[in-house]
A = this chain, B = another copy of it.
Amino acid sequence: MTDYHELTQAEAVEYARGIENIFPDGAQLESREISDGNLNHVFHITEPASGRGLILKQVLPYAKVVGESVPMSLDRARIENEALRIQGELCPDLSPKVYAYEPDLALMVMEDLSDHIIMRQGLMERGHYPLFAVNIGSFLARTLFFTSDLAMDLLEKKQWVKAFINPELCNITEDLILDAPYKKSRMNVFEPHIRDAVEHIWADTGLHLEVALLREAFLTKAQALLHGDLHSDNIFIKLDSMKVIDPEFAYYGPMGFDIGTIIANLLLNYSGQEGWSTDAQERTDYRLYLLDTVRDLWTQFELQFRKLWNEHAADRMAKTRGYQDLYVARLLQDTIGFAGTIIVCRIHGFIHVADIDQIENAATRERAQRIALEIGAALIKRNRSACSIEEVLDIALKAVGSP
C-alpha cells in the first residue's frame, strides 16, 4: 500500500475524468463529498450540463470512533470490491455497477444512484415500494444460496471463506451489536428516560443466553457470504428499482444475520411511526404496510431460496429428504434472533437510527424507543422456538397495543 494517499477533491475529479464512457472529453465536472469522512471519502462527481455522474469511494486507513482515530486496514476496500463483484454477478439489477477499482488507492468508482433515495429516508416519508419485498427477497436468496455449500464447489467455497476473513469489521458487529448492549458499557448511548428499560435488558440473564448463542453463530457459522450490514441506509430505492450498496462488512457468516438486519430496520421504522404522523389512521396504515412487507420479504425469500435449491443445488446432501425444510426452519429462527439484536442495539447501543432519534417530541421518541426494545427483546427470546414469520408480526402488533 506504498502508493496510498488520501485523494483531494481535485484529484478525485481528475480520476473520474479518466473513467471510460461516462463523461465527454473536456466536461465541466463538479464534486461534492457526501460521506461523513469517518471511514471513507465518498465523492459524488457530476457533469451538471448532462446530468451524468458517478460515485468515487476511497477507503481511509483509520476509523473515527468516539472522537478517536483508530487505525484500520485498507483491506476492506478489497473485500467490498470483491463482494460487489459477486453480488453484481448474482443480482446485476440489484447492485450498483462498478466502473473501476484501484487497489493501491483503496478506491472504487461506481454508478451514480442519485435518482434513487436512501430507503431509510423513503420509509420515514411513508413511501410504498411495491417491488421491494420481491427484490430484496431475490437479493437475499441468490446471494446467500449461491455462495453457500449448497451451491458451490466445496473447495472453492473454502477459498472464499479465506478471502473474506474480515476481522476488523466483524469485530465492530461482535462488540457493538452482540455484546455491549447487554452490559454497562461506554459503547452504549441512550437517553435517561429509558434507563429503566435498558437496565432491565442488562439484568435479563435469559436474554443474555440467547444473545450468547447468536453471537456464537456470528463467530463460527460460515454458512454464506453475507452483506454484513444490510440496513436501510445501505439500500437505494425508487418505485421501479432497488440497489444494495456498501458490503464492506462482507464475510462468511450465518444467513439469518442479513435477513434479520433488514427486517429489524423495517421494525425500527414501525416503532417510530408516532413520530412521523399525527394522523392515527395514516400511522396504522403504514404500520400494517411495514408488517406486510416483513411477511412478504420472508415469503419471497423462502420461495426463491427453495426454488434455487430445487433447481441448482450442487451438493448431494442438499437433496436429502427433509433437509431443506429443516434448513429453512432454522434459518427463520436465526433471522428472528438476529433481527432482535439489531433492533436492541439501535436503541441504546452505539449507532442509532434516524427513524427513532430524529423524532422531535421527547415523549413520542421515548415511546418509540420502548416499543422497539420490547419488540427486539421478544424476538431474541422467541428465536429458538419460532416456527413462522407470523410470530414476528404478532410480537410487533402486541408491542404497539394495536397498530
Contacts and interface: CB of A to CB of B under 8 A. Distances in A.
A211 B317 contact: yes
Interface stretch (A20-28, A153-161, A277-285, A337-345): A153-161
Can you tell how many copies of this chain the complex includes? 2
Interface in A322-343: 322-323, 326
- A: interface residue count bin: 35 or more
Interface string A105-121: 00000000000000000
Given A159-B167, A171-B154, A216-B149, A317 B222 contact: no
A322 B215 CA distance: 15
A47 interface: no
Contacts of A165: 158-159, 161-162
Contacts of A317: 178-179, 208, 211-212, 215-216
Given A149-B220, A213-B326, A222-B222, A170 B158 contact: yes
Contacts of A369: none
Interface in A173-188: 174, 178-179, 183
Contact of A208 (B174, B209, B219, B320): B320
A98 to B, nearest CB: 25
B316 A183 contact: yes
Determine which residue in A168, A205, A213 has the highest number of CB atoms from chain B within 10 A of its CB, and name it.
A213
Interface of A: 149, 154-155, 158-159, 161-162, 165-168, 170-171, 174, 178-179, 183, 205, 208-209, 211-213, 215-216, 219-223, 316-318, 320-323, 326
Given A154-B171, A155-B167, 19 more contacts: A149-B216, A154-B167, A154-B170, A154-B174, A154-B219, A155-B171, A158-B166, A159-B167, A161-B165, A162-B162, A208-B317, A209-B320, A209-B321, A209-B323, A209-B326, A212-B317, A219-B222, A220-B221, A222-B222
